């Protein structure tokens, strides 16, 4: 068992080192060809870059690109669309090349081999030429004035980022247990981003409809590659995690209701099973992306308050008769369970790392480590 864990850990380390090497080689090459600086910023004449990442969604991608081609683009705007293919095995590349050949969109195709949306987003940022970076998804469509409204917000000098309105498009009425407002409002497994008025927000925008000045990524870093969709994985939230960094730095992010993107709700997203998987992934993401404060009391490596929260939600789920209240607490239980699993997993990884360090030190001292050293605390 210990050997398998060690081998798996070494495999992940080798993969991360290989990714780091590829990126360093790319940046060295880019700097060499640009006289020592990356080819973006004040020397670029591109005003905006739309970054759209995709994975095996050729049919919806085609509709999204058609919708982008129909935008009412402001006169004199220099813009580009970057489609980042994250290891698709369908017709993604052919669709992008066809759209580019038709010259209806200033479109470029990029390929990111490292699986995970955050890797793809960071590749788009590195290759983009625009002063403003606009992000959207491969399954949305747009109001014709979407881009115009989104970019107009940056006329305010203090505006660091913008969140546009995301309108869910339901194929059927939502289920009885679903709530998108009030005290039992569910997490955005069904993506929607809507407020009553425009202006500064304290809730970060979602990746289906958001934009930031490029300098924000220089100031606060890129998207966190430890989280975000990865194939069929359910650990998401790379967009809001970055937004929280920006807001936490005191920057202003503005909600623009006229920048409208329509997000279809797939039938599978209307099921409890989908929400359970989403909530479980949210629990794991929160522990992974936001480290627990030092001194947190743990039982078996799991914060003690997780046990209290789990009992509370299970009790209220079992005793309530209101379907929305029951759904809220049932799903919250899954979120706590996800956090518990991630906390336990991270603690075991740290324990194994410390044990490996100890046994390495013993070998250097000429002492043969025992098997028990792998699991000493």
Residue percentage of the chain with pLDDT more than 90: 62
Angle between helices 117-127 and 2-32 (to 10 degrees): 10
The CATH number of residue 208's host domain is 3.90.550.10
Its pTM surpasses 0.85: no
Last residue of a domain, one of 270, 288, 303: 270
Which structural domain, as residue segments, surrounds residue 219? 41-270
The answer on 82 and 61 residing in a single domain is yes
| Distance in Å from the first CA to the final CA of the chain | 17
175 in the same domain as 322:
no
Q: pLDDT band for position 360 (50/70/90)?
A: low
**Residue at 65 is within a domain:** yes
In tens, the pLDDT along 286-343 reads 898 887 888 889 888 899 999 999 999 999 999 999 999 999 999 999 999 999 999 9
Distance CA(268)–CA(270), nearest Å, equals 5
Torsion of CA 367, 372, 374, 375, to 10 degrees: -140
- Looking at the fold, whether 200 and 277 belong to one and the same domain comes out as no
Instruction: Please list the alpha-helical segments (H only) found in the chain.
Output: 2-32, 58-69, 92-102, 117-127, 146-152, 215-220, 238-248, 272-289, 304-319, 323-364
Q: Greater confidence, 377 or 284?
A: 284
Q: Which residue would you say has higher pLDDT here, 345 or 81?
A: 81
Domain count, the chain: 2
Residue 26 lies inside a defined structural domain of this protein: no
Identify which of 127, 113, 109, 107 has the alpha carbon closest to the alpha carbon of residue 30. Answer: 127
- Please indicate, yes or no, whether residues 133 and 277 belong to a single structural domain of this protein: no
Residue 64 domain-assigned? yes
Where is pLDDT greater, at 121 or 39? 121
- Within-domain flag for 88: yes
Residue 374 pLDDT class (50, 70, 90 cuts): very low
Res 300: pLDDT: 85
Q: Compute the Cα dihedral for 9, 10, 14, 15 and give only its sign.
A: negative
| 244 in the same domain as 349 | no
- Asked, for residue 201, whether it belongs to a domain, the answer is yes
In a domain, 375, yes or no: no
What pLDDT digit, counting tens, does each position of 90-122 carry? 999 999 999 888 878 999 999 999 999 999 999
Both 214 and 301 in one domain: the answer is no
In this prediction, residue 235 carries a pLDDT of 80
Residue 283 belongs to some domain of the structure:
yes
End of a domain among 270, 298, 322?
270
Angle at 239 between CA 49 and CA 53, to 5 degrees: 50
- Residue 230 pLDDT greater than 90, yes or no: no
Q: What's the whole-number mean pLDDT along residues 156-181?
A: 93
Task: Tell me if 113 is assigned to some domain.
Answer: yes
Residues 242 and 311 in one domain: no
């Amino acid at each position: 068992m210990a050997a398998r864990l060690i081998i798996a850990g070494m495999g992940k380390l080798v993969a991360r080192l290989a990714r780091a090497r590829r990126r360093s080689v790319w940046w060295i090459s880019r700097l060499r060809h640009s006289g020592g600086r990356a080819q973006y910023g004040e020397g670029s004449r591109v005003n905006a870059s739309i970054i759209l990442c995709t994975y095996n969604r050729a049919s919806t991608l085609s509709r999204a690109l058609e919708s982008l081609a129909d935008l009412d683009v402001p006169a004199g705007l220099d813009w580009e669309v970057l489609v980042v293919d994250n290891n698709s095995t369908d017709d993604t590349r052919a669709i992008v090349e066809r759209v580019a050949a038709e010259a209806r969109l200033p479109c470029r195709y990029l390929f990111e081999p490292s699986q995970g949306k955050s890797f793809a987003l960071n590749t788009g940022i590195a290759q983009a030429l625009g002063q403003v970076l606009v992000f959207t998804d491969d399954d949305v469509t747009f109001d014709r004035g979407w881009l115009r409204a989104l970019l107009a917000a940056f006329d305010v000098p203090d505006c660091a980022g913008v969140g546009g309105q995301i309108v869910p498009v339901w194929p059927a009425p939502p289920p009885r247990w679903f709530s998108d407002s009030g005290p039992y409002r569910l997490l955005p497994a069904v993506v929607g981003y809507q407020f009553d008025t425009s202006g500064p927000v304290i809730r970060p925008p979602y990746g289906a409809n958001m934009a930031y000045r490029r300098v924000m990524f220089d100031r606060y870093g890129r998207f966190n590659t430890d989280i975000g969709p990865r194939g069929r994985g359910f650990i998401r939230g790379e967009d809001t995690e970055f937004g929280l960094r920006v807001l936490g730095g005191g920057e202003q992010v503005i909600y623009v209701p006229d920048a409208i993107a329509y997000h279809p709700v797939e039938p599978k997203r209307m099921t409890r099973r989908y929400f359970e998987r989403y909530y479980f992934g949210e629990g794991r993401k929160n522990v992974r992306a936001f480290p627990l404060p030092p001194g947190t009391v743990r039982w078996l490596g799991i914060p003690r308050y997780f046990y209290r929260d789990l009992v509370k939600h299970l009790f209220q789920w079992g005793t309530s008769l209101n379907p929305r209240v029951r759904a809220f607490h049932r799903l919250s239980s899954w979120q706590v369970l996800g956090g518990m699993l991630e906390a336990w997993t991270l603690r075991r990884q740290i324990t194994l790392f410390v044990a490996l360090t100890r046994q390495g030190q013993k070998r250097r001292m000429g002492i043969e480590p025992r098997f028990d050293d792998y699991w000493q605390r």
